[in-house]
Structure formats: structure tokens, C-alpha cells
Amino acid sequence: MAHYAIGDIQGCHTEFCELLERIAFAPRSDTLWLVGDLVNRGPDSLRVLREVMALGASCTAVLGNHDFHLITVAAGIRRQHQGDTLDDILAAPDRDELVAWLTTRPLVASDGAFALVHAGFLPSWTVAKALGLSAEVQAALAGPQAQDFLAVLYGDAPTRWSDELTGFDRLRVIVNACTRLRFCRADDTLELKEKRGIAHTPRGFVPWFEQPARRAKGTPIVCGHWSTLGLMLTDDVLMLDSGCVWGGMLTAISLPERRIVQVPSRAPRLAKPFG
């Protein structure tokens, strides 16, 4: 029985299937983690969603910012952006089933040895704390106020996490941290405007994984999101977004061995936009 994690797929279906073949993934015995951003910008988001759904319980996928974008567009709350590639999903006969499945995905998962999230954790969050906060968002997405929540999901405020936050403000900070985080302060203040690399770190902030008092230290976190940094492996962070959608690579890692397997993108090499 093997355990693999794969970075941001973003509609790159051909590369995803090739990578599954390269690692000889067996759904009946193996486990697969996906770091989110299953869809958008790549050429075949519809087939990616169908492929991942078909993997059933062998696959755990967390929500990324592009996945939330699809959910809100499908709900009629947001419009597509220039460069979005969601039309195939929105026009599909199984659209409602696909989007409903996506809304049941967590923000955070853990097997006890590793944790999985799209972007990162705030400094005060332990893995157990993050799992509990993820459950709060899942409950909101499944509850009677889901549409109201999605309608106010977007925004950068509040800019700082507090256990005292309530309502939609609380949920928004949880989603922002788990799906958009790059830089933060030690007091759990998020900086969400700067999307470039570490050389552009805003004054007073550091990359979330470099916070010295980060409480989740000791549990390696599997994540993606920050394609500007590319593949980055440390003792505590396994960052797997190697920019497949921009002509880079799609990356898989075996856990706990940390053996890397990659396939090249079929897309032409493009400059990565920030965001």
C-alpha cells in the first residue's frame, strides 16, 4: 500500500493521468492526496473532476482558491475571469453533481503523520486546530446558509485571525488562510496582496512556513498554491506546485519516503502571472 500526494493540477488532465500511470497508482490499495486547485486555467478541468471523483475513497482532495472560484461561479455569485477555463464544467450534464461533490471537500486533512492543505497554516494553528476549523467551513457549505456564505466569501478582511471571530468573518479568514496564504505575521495577521516570491516579502511579514513559533511545526505539511516558489521540500513543508499549467511539471511525492516523480506539462512555457 502506497501513499502519494500530487500538486496543483488545474485542469491538466493528460499530465494527471500520465502521472498516475508513472506511480502505478492502484485505487484499491493506494492512497492519493491532492493539494487543491483541481480546476481552471488548464485545458480539461471537466475530465480532471470526473477522474478524481471516480477514484472514490482512495483520494482525498482539499479545496483550493480556484476550486472555490468554480463553486461561486456555478452558484451565480461570481463571474468568470479572463483566462478561466470553466465553461466545460458549467455546460456539462453532470455539472450539479460535480459541483456538489466539490463543496463537500475539506480545507485540511491529516493522517497523523502528515497534514494536507492548499496554501498554509497560520502560526497559532496546530494541525488539530486547523482540522477543526476546516470542519466549520464544511458545515457551513453543507448548511442552509451556504449561499449566503458564498456571497460574502471574497474579501481580505478581517486581516487577522482570532478565536473570538464569529459568523462569516470567522469563516472567511479560515478560507483565506487555507487557500490564499503566503505571507503573515507572528500574530496571525495575513498579507494577501503580495503574490510574488520571497524576495518581495512585505515589511513586517515572513512566508507563513518561516514563522519561528509556528505551532504546527513537527508535522510536515503537504501543500501547493505558491507556484512562484515551485517545488520546495523541507523537513516541515512539502510544497508541490511546480507550475504544470504554466508549462512546468506536475509533481507527485511518495509519503513518507519523499520520492519525487514528475511529468512535463503539455502546455507551452509561459510566464507565471501572480495569483
| pLDDT tens digit sequence for 33-53 | 999 999 999 999 999 999 999
Local confidence band at 133 (pLDDT 50, 70, 90 cut-offs): very high
pTM of the model as a whole = 0.97
pLDDT over threshold 80, residue 273? no
Whole-Å CA distances, 8 to 117, 221, 250: 11, 15, 8
Mean pLDDT of the chain: 96
List all residues 6 or more positions away from 185 whose beta carbon is below 8 Å from its beta carbon.
123, 191, 204, 205, 206
Position 64 pLDDT exceeds 90:
yes
Q: Which three cell numbers stand for residue 80?
A: 468568470
Polymer length in residues for the chain:
275
What are the residue ranges spanned by the domains of the chain?
Answer: 3-264
Predicted pLDDT of residue 267: 81
Residue 234's φ and ψ, nearest 5 degrees, are -130, 180
Mean pLDDT of 260-273: 82
Q: Provide mean pLDDT across the span 128-153.
A: 98
Fold of 3-264: Purple Acid Phosphatase; chain A, domain 2 (3.60.21)
Q: Which residues contact 149 (CB under 8 A, 6 or more apart)?
A: 140, 141, 168, 171
Distance CA 97, CA 51 (A): 13
The pLDDT of 104-124, averaged and rounded, is 98
Confidence of residue 275 (pLDDT cuts 50, 70, 90): very low
Beta-bridge partners for 34: 6, 61
What share of the chain has pLDDT > 90, as a percent? 96
Checking if the pLDDT of 187 tops 50, the result is yes
Residue by residue, DSSP assigns 89-127 as HHTSTTHHHHHHHHHT--SEEE-SS-EEESS---TT--H
pLDDT, residue 153, reads: 97
Residue 274 has pLDDT above 70, yes or no: no
Instruction: State the pLDDT at residue 249.
Output: 97
The answer, yes or no, to whether residue 78 has pLDDT greater than 60, is yes
Contacts of 210 (CB under 8 A, 6+ apart): none
Tens digit of pLDDT for each residue in 200-248? Answer: 999 999 999 999 999 999 999 999 999 999 999 999 999 999 999 999 9
Band of pLDDT at residue 268, cut at 50, 70 and 90: confident
Collect all residues with Cβ–Cβ distance below 8 Å to 140 and sequence separation of at least 6.
146, 149, 171
256 pLDDT above the threshold of 60: yes
